[in-house]
Structure 1
Amino acid sequence: MRPSLTHIALHVPDLQACIDFYEQFCGMRIIHERAGKGSKIVWMAEPGKEHQFIFVIMPGGAERYLAADDYSHFGFALDSRQQVDTVAQQAELAGCLIWAPREEPYPVGYYCGLRDPAGNYVEFSYGQPLGPGSEHLPIP
């Protein structure tokens, strides 16, 4: 038996704000929603990956406050450094940029970080051995 990671479930303080964030910055969309324990439960996925990996988002969570040196995050790969810069510019305008674009040695690559409305950190990267364009890169 080999388990396969299929989803992450998050309780969030403001469901609609998190839906809006993951739609705007991550390109995710709602693929399922249902009533659940007096509220709404939402499944979100990247287009084309609905059967591979999803976020399950539910209200009722407390806002997360991560320490300045806490790098816990969700990671999304982009197709170019310019796309990382674009996300960072949009996040700066929205007031949710936490890590300005920066370059780190391989395998980290070029990345920026955002804070979602629940307090989770979300990284957008280019040049890691995962995601778009990584087929030719070795896994460390």
Structure 2
Amino acid sequence: MQPNLTHLALHVPDLDACIAFYERFCGMRIIHQREGKGSRIVWMAEPGKEHSFIFVIMPGGELRHLADDDYSHFGFAVSSREEIDLIAQEARAIGCLVWAPRDEPYPVGYYCGLRDPAGNYVEFSYGQPLGPGSEAMPIPPST
């Protein structure tokens, strides 16, 4: 049997701020919420992916303080370079842009990075062999 990655669960310092961030920038929506273990537990997913991958977020986490050269992140693909530029522009305006748009050699592509309200980095990319348009791109062989 092959395991399938189905969710990522995070404790966050401000649940409502994180919900708003993932709705605004990632197009995710709440698909389930309940009271549990003394707090509210929220499941969020991208439309159409409710049965394949979700974020589970719960209050109580500490703000993450990632170094500028720490590239730990959640990755979201978008369908154009222009979307990257618009996301970066909006993020810059509200003070959460951490990586300005940049081009990197294949397979990285064009991307920018934001900081969510919990301190996690969130990458938005175009041109990777994952996400929109990836069907036409080969995944490089391992070396």
Under a length normalisation based on structure 1, what TM-score does the superposition of the two structures give?
0.99
Query: Residue in 1 aligned with 2:21?
Result: 21
How far the C-alpha of 1:58 sits from its partner, in A, is 0.2
Q: Secondary structure at 2:123's aligned position in 1?
A: strand
RMSD of Structure 2 on Structure 1 (CA): 0.4
Q: Secondary structure at 1:135's aligned position in 2?
A: helix
**Aligned mates of 2:99, 2:132 — CA distance in 1:** 21
Query: Residue in 1 aligned with 2:86?
Result: 86
Q: List runs of 5+ in structure 2 lacking aligned partners.
A: none
**Aligned mates of 2:139, 2:50 — CA distance in 1:** 25
Aligned residue pairs, count: 140
Query: Residue in 2 aligned with 1:136?
Result: 136
Q: Which residues of 2 match residues 1-140 of structure 1 at below 5 A?
A: 1-140=1-140
Q: Structure 1: which 4+ aligned runs deviate by more than 4 Å? A: none
Q: Deviations over 1:22-77 (max 9, x none)?
A: 00000000000000111100000000000010000000000000111110000000
What percentage of aligned pairs have identical amino acids? 79
Under a length normalisation based on structure 2, what TM-score does the superposition of the two structures give?
0.97
Q: List runs of 5+ in structure 1 lacking aligned partners.
A: none
**Aligned mates of 1:9, 1:103 — CA distance in 2:** 30
**Aligned mates of 1:54, 1:112 — CA distance in 2:** 22
**Aligned mates of 2:26, 2:93 — CA distance in 1:** 16
Read off the aligned partner of 2:15 and give its amino acid letter: L
Q: Secondary structure at 1:93's aligned position in 2?
A: helix
Q: Secondary structure at 2:87's aligned position in 1?
A: helix
Read off the aligned partner of 2:87 and give its amino acid letter: V
